[in-house]
Amino acid sequence: MIEVQDLHKAFGDVRAVNGVSFTARDGEITGLLGPNGAGKTTTLRMLYTLMKPDAGRVIVDGNDAYADALAVRRRLGVLPDARGLYKRLTAAENIDYFGRLHGMPEALLASRREALIDALDMRDIAGRRTEGFSQGQRVKTAIARAMVHDPRNVLLDEPTNGLDVMATRAMRRFMFQLREEGRCVLFSSHIMQEVAALCDRIVVIAHGRVVADETPAELLVQTGESTLEDAFVKIIGTDEGLAA
Amino acid sequence: MSAFTAVYWKEVRENLRDRRTLINALLTGPLLGPVLFITMMNLMVTRELAKADRPISVPVIGAEYAPHLMGALRSAGIDAQPGLPDPENAVREQRTDVVVRISPDYPKAWSQGQSVQVDLIYDSSRRDASTPIARVRNVVESYGRREGAMRLIARGLSPTTAWPVQVAERDQATSQARSGLMFAFLPYFFILTVFMGGMYLAIDLTAGERERQSLEPLFVNPVARWRILAGKLAAICTFSLVSLLLSVCAFATAPWFIPTEKIGIALDLGVHFGAQVVVIMLPLILLMASLQSLVSAFARSYREAQTYMSILMLVPILPSVLLSVMPVRAEPWMYAVPLLGQNLGIAQLLRGDGMPAWQVTTCLAGGFAAALVAMFGAAMMYRSERLAISG
| pLDDT > 70: percent of chain B | 92
Could you tell me if B239 and B267 lie in one domain? yes
| Of B53 and B203, the one with more pLDDT | B203
> Is residue B226 within 8 angstroms of chain A, CB to CB?
no
Confirm whether A114 is domain-assigned.
no
* Whether the Cβ atoms of residue B285 and residue B240 lie closer than 8 Å to each other: yes
Q: Cα–Cα distances in Å, from B369 out to A104, B373, B375?
A: 35, 6, 10
Q: How confident is the model at residue A244 (pLDDT cuts 50, 70, 90)?
A: very low
**pLDDT score recorded for residue B50:** 66
Q: Do the beta carbons of residue A145 and residue A104 sit within 8 Å?
A: no
Bigger pLDDT: B296 or B261? B296
Q: Do B255 and B273 meet the contact criterion of CB atoms below 8 Å apart?
A: no
- Sign of the alpha-carbon dihedral angle for A161, A164, A167, A172: positive
B2 touches chain A (CB under 8 A): yes
Q: How confident is the model at residue B231 (pLDDT cuts 50, 70, 90)?
A: very high
Taking one residue from A and the other from B, the number of pairs with CB-CB distance under 8 angstroms is: 88
In the predicted model, is pLDDT for residue B388 greater than 80?
no
Comparing CA positions, the residue from B354, B351, B353 lying closest to residue B267 is: B351
Q: What CATH number is associated with residue A225?
A: 3.40.50.300
Percent of chain A exceeding pLDDT 70 equals 97
Element (H, E) at A170: helix A165-180
Q: Which of A149-163, B96-110, B118-132 has the lowest mean pLDDT?
A: B118-132
Q: Are residues B35 and B147 in the same domain?
A: no
Residues B201, B289: Cα–Cα separation, whole Å: 9
Q: Is B86 helix (H, G, I), strand (E, B) or coil?
A: coil
- Answer yes or no: do B213 and A101 touch at CB < 8 A: no
- Tell me, yes or no, whether B50 lies in a domain: no
For residues B247 and B113, state if they share a domain.
no
Residues B42-72 as b/e (b if ≥16 CB within 10 A, e otherwise) read eeebeeeeebeeeebebbbbbbebbeebbeb
Does A41 contact B at CB distance below 8 Å? yes
DSSP characters for A15-59? EEEEEEEEEE-TT-EEEEE--TTSSHHHHHHHHTTSS--SEEEEE
Residue of A80, A74, A69, A77 lying closest to A43 (CA atoms): A80
Instruction: Label residue A241 by pLDDT band (50, 70, 90).
Output: very low
For chain A, how long is the longest CA-to-CA vector? 55
Give the model's confidence band at A243: pLDDT under 50 very low, under 70 low, under 90 confident, else very high.
very low
Q: Mutating which of A11, A72, A100 best tests the B interface, going by the most B Cβ atoms within 10 A?
A: A100
Q: Give a yes or no: residue A123 inside a domain.
A: no
Q: What is the pLDDT of residue A90?
A: 95
Residue-wise pLDDT tens digits, A28-87: 999 998 888 888 889 999 999 988 999 999 999 999 988 999 999 999 999 988 888 999
Picking from B299, B294, B185, the residue whose alpha carbon sits closest to that of residue B236 is B294
Note whether B272 and B378 are same-domain residues.
Answer: yes
Residues A143 and A95: their CA atoms lie apart, in Å, by: 9
The answer to whether residues B326 and B384 belong to one domain is: yes
Residues B19 and B160 occupy one common structural domain: no
Using pLDDT thresholds of 50, 70 and 90, give the confidence band for residue A153: very high
Cβ(A206)–Cβ(A235) under 8 Å?
A: yes
B228 in any annotated domain: yes
Most confident of A8-22, A217-231, B28-42, B184-198: A8-22
CA B99 to CA B61: how far, in whole Å?
A: 8
B127 class by beta-carbon count within 10 Å (0-12 exposed, 13-18 middle, 19+ buried): exposed
CATH code of the domain covering residue B149: 3.40.1710.10
End-to-end Cα, chain A, rounded Å: 29
Smallest CA–CA distance, residue B384 to chain A, in Å, is: 9
Is residue B389 very low, low, confident or very high in pLDDT (cuts 50, 70, 90)? confident
The answer to whether residue B125 scores a pLDDT higher than 70 is: yes
Q: By residue range, what is the domain housing residue B286? A: 3-45+176-388
Q: Are residues B251 and B366 in the same domain?
A: yes
A190 occurs within a structural domain: yes
Query: B117 and B95, same structural domain?
Result: yes
Q: Which of A230-234, B253-257, B343-347, B366-370 has the highest mean pLDDT?
A: B366-370
- Phi-psi domain of B56 (left: phi exceeds 0; alpha: psi -120 through 50; beta: other): beta
pLDDT of B145 reads 87
User: E strands of chain A, at which residues?
Assistant: 2-11, 14-24, 29-33, 55-60, 63-64, 76-79, 153-157, 184-189, 201-206, 209-214
Question: Which tops the pLDDT comparison, B237 or B20?
Answer: B237
Q: Of B221, B229, B302, B382, which to mutate for an interface test with A (greatest number of A Cβ within 10 Å)?
A: B221
Which of A152-161, A235-244, B141-150 bottoms out in mean pLDDT, i.e. has the lowest? A235-244
B168 or A94, higher pLDDT = A94
- Is B213 close to A45, i.e. CB distance below 8 A? no
* A126: in domain: no
pLDDT at B176: 57
Number of structural domains, chain B?
2
Instruction: Tell me whether residue A118 is in a domain.
Output: no
How many angstroms away from the CA of A89 is the closest CA of chain B? 6
Q: What angle do CA B195, B197, B200 make, to 5 degrees?
A: 90
Do the chains contact at B14 and A81, CB–CB below 8 Å?
no
Instruction: Please indicate, yes or no, whether residues B316 and B384 belong to a single structural domain of this protein.
Output: yes
Residue B110 placed within a domain: yes
Domain end, chosen from B170, B199, B229, is at B170
**What is the predicted pLDDT for the residue at B377?**
94
Contacting residues for A49 by C-beta, under 8 A, at least 6 apart:
A58, A65, A66, A69, A72, A73, B220
Dihedral, A214, A220, A225, A228 alpha carbons, nearest 10: 70
- Give me the number of domains chain A comprises: 1
Contact present, B304 and B207 (Cβ < 8 Å): yes
Asked if B316 and B339 count as a contact pair (C-beta separation under 8 A), the reply is yes
Q: pLDDT grade, residue B48 (50/70/90)?
A: low
What does the pLDDT look like over A172-188, one tens digit per residue?
999 999 999 999 999 99
**Predicted pLDDT at B89:** 86
Residue A83 to residue B217, Cβ atoms within 8 A: yes
User: Is the pLDDT score of B161 beyond 90?
Assistant: no
Residue A42 maps to a domain: yes
Chain A environment of B18 (Cβ under 8 Å): 88
Considering chain B, what is the average pLDDT of its residues?
85
In a domain, A112, yes or no: no
Arithmetic mean of pLDDT, B35-63 = 79
DSSP letters for B298-309: H-SSHHHHHHHH
Q: Which residues of A touch B217 (CB under 8 A)?
A: 78, 80, 82-84, 98, 142, 145-146
Structural domain boundaries, residue A18: 2-83+153-236
Q: What is the pLDDT of residues B70-82, one digit of tens each?
A: 888 888 888 888 8
Task: Give the Å distances, CA to CA, from A71 to B220, B224, B383.
Answer: 11, 11, 18
Query: B34 and B120 share a domain?
Result: no
- Predicted local distance difference test score (pLDDT) of residue B265: 66
Would you state the pLDDT for residue B182?
59
Given this model, what pLDDT does residue B168 score? Answer: 78
Higher pLDDT, residue A89 or B97: A89
Q: Is residue B94 part of a domain?
A: yes
* CA pair distance B89, B96, nearest whole angstrom: 10
HSE, CB side, 13 Å, CA atoms: give it for residue B13: 16
Which residue, B147, B170, B193, sits at the end of a domain?
A: B170
Share of chain A above pLDDT 90, in %: 56
Residues B72 and B159 in one domain: yes
B239 and B361 belong to one structural domain: yes
Kindly tell me if the per-residue pLDDT of B42 is higher than 90. Answer: no
Query: Could you tell me if residue B379 is inside a domain?
Result: yes
| Residue from the list A51, A82, A102 with its beta carbon closest to the beta carbon of B391 | A82
The alpha carbon torsion through A9, A10, A11, A14 (nearest 10 deg) reads 130
Contacts (Cβ under 8 Å, ≥6 apart) of B181? B173
Alpha-carbon distance B213 to nearest alpha carbon in chain A (angstroms) = 5
pLDDT tens per residue, range B237-259? 999 999 999 999 988 888 788 77
